[in-house]
Amino acid sequence: MTSQPTHWFEEHTGEVQLHLVAPTLGQLFEEAAKALSELMVEQLAEDPAPSVELVKLSAPDREALLVEWLNELIFRSETQQKIYGEARILRLSDTELEAEIRGKTPERLGTAVKAATYHRLKIVSQENGYAAKVILDV
Amino acid sequence: MEMPELKQVSEVVYELGRDFRPDMHVPLRVFADAQLLGQLKRDHSLGQLVNVCTLPGITHYALGMPDMHEGYGFPVGGVAGTLLPDGAISPGGIGFDINCGVRLLASSLRFPDVESQLPTLVHELSRNIPTGYGRHGRLSLSRDELDRVLNEGCKYIVREKQLGLEEDLERIESQGSLPEADASRVSERAKQRGQDQLGTLGGGNHFMEVQRVDAIFDEPGAKALGLAPEQLTVLIHSGSRGLGHQVCTDYVRLMDQALSGYKISLPDRQLACAPLSSKLGRDYFVAMCAAANFAWANRQVLAQRVRETFSRVLGAGPNSKLSLVYDVAHNIAKVEQFGIQRLCVHRKGATRAFGPSSPDIPAVYRGVGQPVFIPGSMGTASFVLVGTDAARDLSLNSACHGAGRALSRTAAKKEVTGHLLRKELEGRGIIVRCASNTELAEEAPIAYKDVERVVDVVTRAGIAKKVARLVPRGVLKG
């Protein structure tokens, strides 16, 4: 069993390829939020009262749901001027997601992320949990 | 995927036949020399171009420009024309940054005459131009005004908002206003993202440069474009900001879900597409046109901020006049006529390059060719070219759009730190303004191919002609 969810960014000439590993699918989605925020912000501001927001999404399959999830976080980051590195998945199936996210104010921004893509997108179940690859347009 | 050797069909053109994979509808062609070909074989761009060959209705060839590199769905530097009325339109063949493009302004000033004021000029530009992602512009638009920007593009910005000159309009691709645009097909979420982003540069590889004309290769061409040695120019590279990103996101999702209804099967979900004759295909096309209008309006507002800054720093009057040379898109789909065929030409990281006889270029450039801008990486030269009539048959009237990435962002950061790069560029007399050292390192010159080599291939292939070289003296990075 994978003990802790983790992520890393793999080489890609033009964009950023995000690799995620987690013991459960819910943790995989939570880790995706953490990874995205790590990319988008260099430093967070002191934020005594982060916003708490509810997200509800649906998609035809779990890969598309991961893309929807990342794109929702990108949309909210840009329109709310917040970074959503902390997420708690409340409900998750292959086609639906409900989560609580906490938005913090960025002090210094990092890499601009335009969107998550379907290119070479994959979520695989493995003995110790789940692994996913998703390419982000930056 | 195992890639076979490509067949060399002329000095700088390589081909892969459609028998390579059963789902290819057309062969592919790549413009490259041996070194560039070697570079592009190191990433997945050729495999991605093979996938493009499977698009419904694709005709002629899927084309790879000499700056081609790996993207998602289409490679960056990929061109594909689909035969209308039923050929497909694929948002992935345009990209998230719809109408990312380049605008060149030429000053009436000579660089040596203003060199001492350059630090103040670049500093004031950095104060006047918002950079970085999600940054807000000074132009606050109501929702109705935003819809007019989407429907009318630069015509609204120049004529109603008084930002720019009437003469600017003629020197913008499609006059900066695609008539097919329909703001009602742009989602509420896209409008929310773009609401206050007009007049902002954005992040990533977007930038603005103050340059000096360093070399002229074609005297009559340069004269027609208003360029002369030692002249001061300003190059703006930006796009449709969050609004365009969301339009692409929305329609990739819709088309991904509709593929089975059209009985379309694709090797890559990011190539999701719909026939342009379908309601969904048409909805995307008119929304993409609206996002393209937004991008042209964005570069129009940015150009006006540059003009204001020049007047303030260098003094108002005819001597500080900045004339628009041209504004050209490099992420867009256009419906274009090729003989009796009407094609939807996708250019993803590729520039339209109409020749001197084209009726669709500004009257002042007839007999010369449409200006094509090839920005180099930060700190290296940029090139001005003009399209040729031969480009019509050789490359679906297309040329490359930049140097093209050679290294990933991670690899670039391993090679160079932003802090040292800033020092090195300043040591070469280039003033750099970029808030983030990380982003600076990601766009380091070492991460890009050799722009001179890329331009050389374009010229040798006969798809565009070299006119002038511009060298950077001040860089404002998004």
For the stretch A82-124, pLDDT in tens is 999 999 999 999 999 999 999 999 888 888 899 999 999 999 9
- What pTM was computed for the model? 0.95
The answer to whether A13 and B349 have CB atoms below 8 angstroms apart is no
Q: Tell me how many degrees the CA angle A31-B406-B33 measures, rounded to the nearest 5.
A: 150
How, if at all, do strands B431-433 and B464-477 pair? parallel
Quick check: B72 and A81 CB within 8 A?
no
Q: pLDDT value at position B42?
A: 87
Size of interface A-B (CB pairs under 8 A): 112
Q: What pLDDT digit, counting tens, does each position of A74-88 carry? A: 999 999 999 999 999
The distance of B253 to chain A (nearest Cα, Å) reads 8
Q: pLDDT value at position A62?
A: 97
Q: Say which of B192, B268, B405 has its CB closest to residue A14.
A: B405
**A6-137 in CATH: which number?**
3.55.10.10
Quick check: B478 and A77 CB within 8 A?
no
The distance of B268 to chain A (nearest Cα, Å) reads 6
Question: The tokens 């088309």 sit on which residue?
Answer: B255
Residues of A in contact with B90 (CB under 8 A): none
Reported as half-sphere exposure (CB side, CA atoms, 13 A), residue B365 has a value of 28
Q: Rounded to 5 degrees, what are φ and ψ at A18?
A: -95, 130
Residues 272-301 of B with CB under 8 A from A: 272
Rounded Cα distance, A18 and A113, in Å: 12
Strand extents, DSSP E, B73-206: 74-83, 88-89, 101-110
How, if at all, do strands A16-22 and B13-16 pair? unpaired
Q: pLDDT value at position A119?
A: 95
Q: Which of A39, A119, A134 has the highest number of chain B CBs within 10 A, making it the mutation to test binding with B? A: A119
Contact status of A38 with chain B (Cβ, < 8 Å)? no
- Among B225, B167, B209, B212, smallest CA distance to B386 is for B225
Q: Which segment of A52-61, B15-24, B154-163, B376-385 scores lowest on mean pLDDT?
A: B376-385
Q: pLDDT value at position B131?
A: 82
Q: Say which of B69, B242, B438 has its CB closest to residue A78.
A: B242
Quick check: A113 and B193 CB within 8 A?
no
Contacts of B296 (CB under 8 A, 6+ apart): B99, B101, B153, B154, B172, B173, B174, B176, B177, B327, B329
- Where do the structural domains in chain A lie, given as residue ranges? 6-137
Q: pLDDT value at position B391?
A: 98
Q: Which of A18, A37, A38, A114 has the highest number of chain B CBs within 10 A, making it the mutation to test binding with B? A: A114
Q: Say which of B246, B257, B270 has its CB closest to residue A117.
A: B270
- Among B342, B339, B332, smallest CA distance to B295 is for B332
**B7-406+448-477 in CATH: which number?**
3.90.1860.10
Output the CA torsion sign for A66, A54, A33, B48: positive
pLDDT band at B365 (very low <50, low <70, confident <90, very high): very high
Quick check: B248 and A115 CB within 8 A?
yes
Rounded Cα distance, B121 and B210, in Å: 9
Chain A residue with CA closest to B97: the answer is A114
Cα B117 to chain center, whole Å? Answer: 30
Rounded Cα distance, B38 and B45, in Å: 12
Residue B401 annotated to the active site: yes
Q: What pLDDT digit, counting tens, does each position of B289-307 carry? A: 999 999 999 999 999 999 9
Contacts of B14 (CB under 8 A, 6+ apart): B6, B7, B8, B29, B30, B32, B37
Rounded Cα distance, B76 and B44, in Å: 11
Catalytic hit among B206, B330, B346, B401: B401
